[in-house]
Amino acid sequence: MSMTMSQKILASCAKVEKVEAGQLIMADLDLVLGNDITAPVAIKEFAKFGVKDVFDNKKVALVPDHFTPNKDIKAAQQCKILREFAHEKEIENYFEIGQMGIEHALLPEQGLVNAGDLIIGADSHTCTYGALGAFSTGVGSTDMAAAMASGKGWFKVPSALKFNLTGKLSKWVSGKDVILHIIGMIGVDGALYKSMEFCGEGVKNLSIDDRFTICNMAIEAGAKNGIFGVDEITLEYLKEHHKGTPKIFEADSDAVYEKVYEIDLSKIRPTVAYPHLPENTKTIDEVEKIEIDQVVIGSCTNGRISDLRVAAKILKNKKVNPKVRTIIFPATQKIYLQALKEGLLEIFVEAGAVVSTPTCGPCLGGHMGILADKERAVATTNRNFVGRMGHPGSEVYLASPAVAAASALTGYITNPETV
Amino acid sequence: MKVKGKVFRYLDNVDTDVIIPARYLNTSDPKELASHCMEDIDADFIKNVKEGDIIVAQKNFGCGSSREHAPLAIKSAGISCVIAASFARIFYRNSINIGLPILECEEAVKGIKSGDIVSVDFESGKITNETTKESYYAQPFPPFIQKMIEAEGLVNYMAQEIQK
């Protein structure tokens, strides 16, 4: 046999016994995703196929989340294309403002992702769903168009890197620190074209939210997908969210990995990625006193309820530094409501933070938190490229919600253990 | 198919956000996207680029976002080919899908400077630096990819194939 988890899912969806790294296959897709930036291009291309409907109106998900609520007239026009297409093709999983959220938090929450699924999305962070044992990967708009028409996608079967996790994370250390540590170690092209498979006895000490964050940033190491094996914690999450039966794939004991990395979770420190690449990491102990103008807590990477709870724990009964604009984005309406019920939003507002409706806005420099020249932000988002959050002269430091919240209090990048 | 043009050379990890910043993604008009191509790392690019010119870059070109607007902007700016030591996965796929020729060739990248005149033969994969008279070989595209590029992308190519 000798296949990795990712290879087994691809083989299953291609309806073949076995695949090997480098092989080109055509496979059936369980879900095709697009957003208000990528789907309008896909819809234009889809029209050229001359087919009337999408392959399955239950297996296409359209989420207007990047420039929504619409930031300007052009964005409104783009979203209108999405909305009209969704209505015309009777797409069941179209999430209008008010029901929506940031796509990669929303889809698992809505029960659209099952273990063993094969998912493509016209968004690079589609790799997030590997947290639930699915093979999911980002593609462009043309691939999305072809997939909406046919329900199929072609793949080059990836080779894999294995990350053997042991131990348990310390207080204030989270999935974000794990993935920043790994990207710092292997680089932004360290997993180029490959799968990142996370396994080992340390996995049981990682929450589903930690796993979502880790898989979300697999693309920042260049990976095709990131994936965790299915365990009790996964099954519990799926039972709560998904109606179907999980399809569990385990790597063969003799599966071939290009490289195996041993990671002791207990040794990982809060980690910060300096501008302008996610690989420019330093542990919190090595970080100098870097003054900041803005803190952003949210995005598909770290806008989940556990992230907001951590931030609230640090901000409770305290005030953010008056020179730090602190913006908090719950990732979905459901998370927003949960945060409201738990009193987290009250803590944020009383601390002097702004709480926004779910949107990808600031993460990609779209709207709702754009940086001016020479300004610095600490963000729980996933990229810190030149101009990522606004002016090309601005800087983004990537960190966990704990580090971001602690930094909001002091005005400089701060170890959460010290506040 | 052959192309020839002046080289714009860049370093490692040129990401999709600098190829086309998100602030311009409220449109998908290729001409409008092209007018902002590369502006965050090379404000002069769009002023100086001419039809047929070539981008040469080091490793991991196109890392980051899945936005197809990135290769669209490059293509619409008039760039005839991108040569890099390696490409990010989604960018690679997107470029082929929209008919932007891209070649991986580490040796060529080492031997080509900004402003050099370079010609590329997609059939043989031969890259010639006309300025230094040196040649390099990239893995050529298989015929169906060449046809896809000639048809200006996957969708047109598929439509042509279906009509045959």
Enclosing H/E stretch for A305: helix A305-315
Give yes or no for residue B145 having a pLDDT over 90: no
Residues of chain A neighbouring B17 (CB-CB closer than 8 A): 364-365, 383, 385-388
ipTM attached to this prediction: 0.95
Instruction: Note whether B139 and B106 are within 8 A (CB).
Output: no
Enclosing H/E stretch for A144: helix A141-150
CB contact (8 A) between residue B86 and residue A74: no
Give yes or no for residue B134 having a pLDDT over 70: yes
Q: Give the per-residue pLDDT at A168.
A: 98
pLDDT one digit per residue (tens) for chain A, 419 residues: 699 999 999 999 999 999 999 998 999 999 999 999 999 999 999 999 889 999 999 999 999 999 999 999 999 999 999 999 999 999 999 999 999 999 999 999 999 999 999 999 999 999 999 999 999 999 999 999 999 999 999 999 999 999 999 999 999 999 999 999 999 999 999 999 999 999 999 999 999 999 999 999 999 999 999 999 999 999 999 999 999 999 999 999 999 999 999 999 999 999 999 999 999 999 999 999 999 999 999 999 999 999 999 999 999 999 999 999 999 999 999 999 999 999 999 999 999 999 999 999 999 999 999 999 999 999 999 999 999 999 999 999 999 999 999 999 999 999 999 99
Mean predicted lDDT score pLDDT of chain B: 95
CA distance A266 to chain B (A): 30
Angle in degrees, 0-180, between the axes of helices B143-150 and B89-98, rounded to the nearest 10? 60
Q: Give the per-residue pLDDT at B114.
A: 97
CB contact (8 A) between residue B23 and residue A71: no
φ/ψ of A212, rounded to 5, equals -60, -45
Cα A414 to Cα A405: distance, rounded to the nearest angstrom: 9
Cα A164 to Cα A230: distance, rounded to the nearest angstrom: 15
Would you state the torsion angle of the CA atoms of residues B110, B114, B118, B120, taken in this order, to the nearest 10 degrees? 60
CB contact (8 A) between residue B13 and residue A66: no
Rounded average pLDDT over B50-76: 98
Among candidates A278, A387, A276, which has minimal Cα distance to B36? Answer: A387
Enclosing H/E stretch for B159: helix B154-163
Q: Give the per-residue pLDDT at B122.
A: 93
Kindly list the strands in the beta sheet with B81-84, ordered across the sheet, starting from the edge strand earlier in the chain: B102-104, B81-84, B54-57, B2-10, B117-121, B126-129, B134-137
Amino acid identity, residue B39?
E
User: Confidence class of residue B61 from pLDDT cuts 50, 70 and 90?
Assistant: very high
Among candidates A364, A397, A391, which has minimal Cα distance to A378? Answer: A397
Q: CA dist B45 to B36, B60, B74, B75, B79, Å? A: 9, 20, 11, 13, 11
CB contact (8 A) between residue A124 and residue B27: no
Q: CA dist B75 to A18, A232, A254, B80, B129, Å? A: 38, 48, 44, 7, 21
% of chain B beyond a pLDDT of 70: 99
Strand, helix or coil for residue B2: strand
Q: What is the DSSP string of A10-64?
A: HHHHTT-S---TT-EEEEE-SEEEEETTTHHHHHHHHHHTT-SS-S-TTSEEEE-
Cα A70 to Cα A77: distance, rounded to the nearest angstrom: 9
CA distance B8 to chain A (A): 19
Q: What is the DSSP string of B60-114?
A: SBTBS---THHHHHHHHTT--EEEES-B-HHHHHHHHHHT--EEE-HHHHHH--T
Cα A361 to Cα A266: distance, rounded to the nearest angstrom: 34
Q: Give the per-residue pLDDT at B144.
A: 85
Q: For residue B48, count other CB atoms closer than 10 A to its CB.
A: 11
Q: Does any CB of chain A come closer than 8 Å to the CB of residue B153?
A: yes
Q: Is the pTM of this model over 0.90?
A: yes
Residues of chain B neighbouring A387 (CB-CB closer than 8 A): 17-18, 21, 40
Cα A386 to Cα A278: distance, rounded to the nearest angstrom: 11
CB contact (8 A) between residue A140 and residue B156: no
Instruction: Note whether B70 and B41 are within 8 A (CB).
Output: no
By the 10 Å C-beta count (0-12 exposed, 13-18 middle, 19+ buried), A231 is classed as middle
Would you state the torsion angle of the CA atoms of residues B102, B65, A14, A199, taken in this order, to the nearest 10 degrees? 120
